[in-house]
């Protein structure tokens, strides 16, 4: 089943007085794939011949696992941190608060490339320093995890998500939005919610 992208900008508010900044804050959900799809291809082309497929896949799985932890940490302790200063509260609203106030805004569900690219570069250099020649494989898994996150995040808000896994992930994330935003921080997986004991209660309360 195909899903036609429909902008729900009427279900939001402008964030900036500057017209060009406001445009940058709205991102089509296909943009991350357009930006990072070629990156994944490049990491495979660079890393696979050097390592062999078994080592590459193993390191990519490690990168994917790292992403799930980064996703959880960012969501719980960065996006849901409550600043005290006026500037801090403003920055928090720009980063995540607007999404909780207007969760149906389909153009603010994925991270703008102006934000995600610098973050990706930081992790590239970290992985290069730690994993050496395996950096391409680890980064490949990490970026795959990020794309899964952005895609799933959009899907749980705007697609039916039929099937056992899809229905579970949709219900799991919507509990975070509509019942208790102090639980259910994982979007691609509840793994770290289990580890850190932040799984939503079954009754949704």
Band (pLDDT 50/70/90 cuts) for residue 95 is low
Residue 101 vs residues 27, 96, 98, 108, 173: alpha-carbon distances, Å: 18, 9, 5, 11, 15
Q: Residue ranges of the domains in the chain? A: 28-157
Dihedral class, residue 199 (left if φ above 0, else alpha if ψ from -120 to 50, else beta): beta
Residue 45 vs residues 41, 48, 95, 97, 119: alpha-carbon distances, Å: 6, 6, 34, 39, 22
Stated pTM of the model: 0.87
Selected residue with higher pLDDT from 42 and 2: 42
Whether the per-residue pLDDT at 204 is higher than 60: the answer is no
Band (pLDDT 50/70/90 cuts) for residue 8 is very low
């Amino acid at each position: 089943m195909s899903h036609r992208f429909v902008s729900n900008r009427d279900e939001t508010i402008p964030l900036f007085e500057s017209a060009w900044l406001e445009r940058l804050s709205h991102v089509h959900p296909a943009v991350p794939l357009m930006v990072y799809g070629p990156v994944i291809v490049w990491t495979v082309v660079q890393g696979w011949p050097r390592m062999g497929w078994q080592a590459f896949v193993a390191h990519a799985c490690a990168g994917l696992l790292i992403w799930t932890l980064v996703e959880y940490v960012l969501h719980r302790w960065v996006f849901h941190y409550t600043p005290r200063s006026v500037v801090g509260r403003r920055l928090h609203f720009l980063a995540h608060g607007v999404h909780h106030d207007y969760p149906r805004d389909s153009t603010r569900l994925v991270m703008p490339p102006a934000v995600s690219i610098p973050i990706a570069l930081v992790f590239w250099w970290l992985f290069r320093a730690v994993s050496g020649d395996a950096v391409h494989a680890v980064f490949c898994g990490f970026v795959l995890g990020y794309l899964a996150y952005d895609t799933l995040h959009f899907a749980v808000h705007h697609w039916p998500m039929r099937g056992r896994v899809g229905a579970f992930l949709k219900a799991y994330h919507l509990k975070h939005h509509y019942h208790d935003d102090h639980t259910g921080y994982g979007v691609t997986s509840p793994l770290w919610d289990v580890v850190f004991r932040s799984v939503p209660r079954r009754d949704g309360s």
